[in-house]
Copies of this chain bind each other. A is one copy, B any other.
């Protein structure tokens, strides 16, 4: 292994000069810096990560805690993780992967052992047991999602309330008067996942504001459940012409079910959804949707975290504005 003393010898300077030349933390003459850089290249020098971390008390590693639960759409998690890694690398940081399974102990462990400098926590619940811990850690963190009590924490998320509103408003703008929300599986609401509830709030608020008749239906992530929900909707709201779907997994089966029940999309029924763009676009009937910007979310989280690491103040709440993309699943309501 080639170390900083080797580089120093080769360049004819002291180890500390090499360190300063590479970090730029003190002025070094042009000439010396060039010699150091040449020596680094010639010897293929790579600073030893642990030595650097120990001396500098910065590991340049971020922790990423990913969820394992049911009802969380996997591709979203993966895309998010990838974008976090990519963004972190831009700041010369690496990412340590933790599963939610390890829970609070895992967070405490990587923080207390100084394995990581900072943490990103996904899938935050409304009353998340990790919140007090995160507040008490001596390391900054960023949460994906909003807990009920977010004071003292930095949170990032899509503005799900606005997303729910946007979906309804689009339907209202197309003349639909009776709408329904097909939501996440019941357990998602039961355990108080914030974003799911926010969609419901936005949906309901916008429907009321626009004077629409509306109902909300949680839905298991299976084709059979989709079918049942479709049947139930038509039974309970015979005049239904607009549906908002916040449940990637049942989007396709739901459309199938509606069509098998004799309703054409978008002829008889318009559908808007909150889901990743790729999902919406790949369906048999491409669906008008509000994108779930997981990549952007990951980048924002990393940006915020690194600003916190430099000691900068960052906003406690960052809500990404939802954007709706028109596709083939929406049409104006037929004149009555």
In the assembled complex, A61 has its CB within 8 A of some CB on chain B:
yes
Number of interface residues of A (CB under 8 A): 45
In the assembled complex, A109 has its CB within 8 A of some CB on chain B:
yes
Select from chain B the residue with minimum beta-carbon distance to A51. Answer: B54
In the assembled complex, A316 has its CB within 8 A of some CB on chain B:
no
In the assembled complex, A89 has its CB within 8 A of some CB on chain B:
yes
Q: What residues on B are CB-neighbors of A78 within 8 Å?
A: 74, 77-78
* Interface members, chain A 59-109 (any B CB < 8 Å): 59, 61, 64, 66, 68, 74-75, 77-78, 81-82, 85-86, 89, 94-99, 101-102, 109
Instruction: Check A113 against B82 for contact (C-beta < 8 Å).
Output: no
* Interface members, chain A 40-58 (any B CB < 8 Å): 44, 46-51, 53-54
Produce 1/0 per residue, A32-45, CB < 8 A to B: 00000000000010
Select from chain B the residue with minimum beta-carbon distance to A108. Answer: B46
Contact of A96 among B61, B81, B253 (CB under 8 A): B61
- Docked Cα-Cα span, A263 to B271, in Å, equals 30
Copies of this subunit:
2
Instruction: Check B49 against A59 for contact (C-beta < 8 Å).
Output: yes
**Given contacts A64-B97, A89-B102, A96-B96, A114 and B49 within 8 Å (CB-CB):** yes
Instruction: Check B115 against A97 for contact (C-beta < 8 Å).
Output: no
**Given contacts A68-B82, A97-B85, A113 and B46 within 8 Å (CB-CB):** yes
Q: What residues on B are CB-neighbors of A284 within 8 Å?
A: 223, 253
Instruction: Check A94 against B75 for contact (C-beta < 8 Å).
Output: no
Instruction: Check B51 against A109 for contact (C-beta < 8 Å).
Output: no
- Docked Cα-Cα span, A78 to B75, in Å, equals 8
Instruction: Check B94 against A95 for contact (C-beta < 8 Å).
Output: no
A15–chain B nearest beta-carbon distance, Å: 16
A sample of 24 inter-chain contacts (CB < 8 A) reads A46-B109, A46-B112, A46-B113, A48-B54, A48-B114, A49-B53, A49-B113, A49-B114, A50-B50, A50-B53, A64-B97, A74-B74, A74-B78, A75-B75, A77-B78, A78-B78, A81-B97, A86-B101, A94-B96, A94-B110, A94-B115, A95-B97, A96-B96, A253-B284
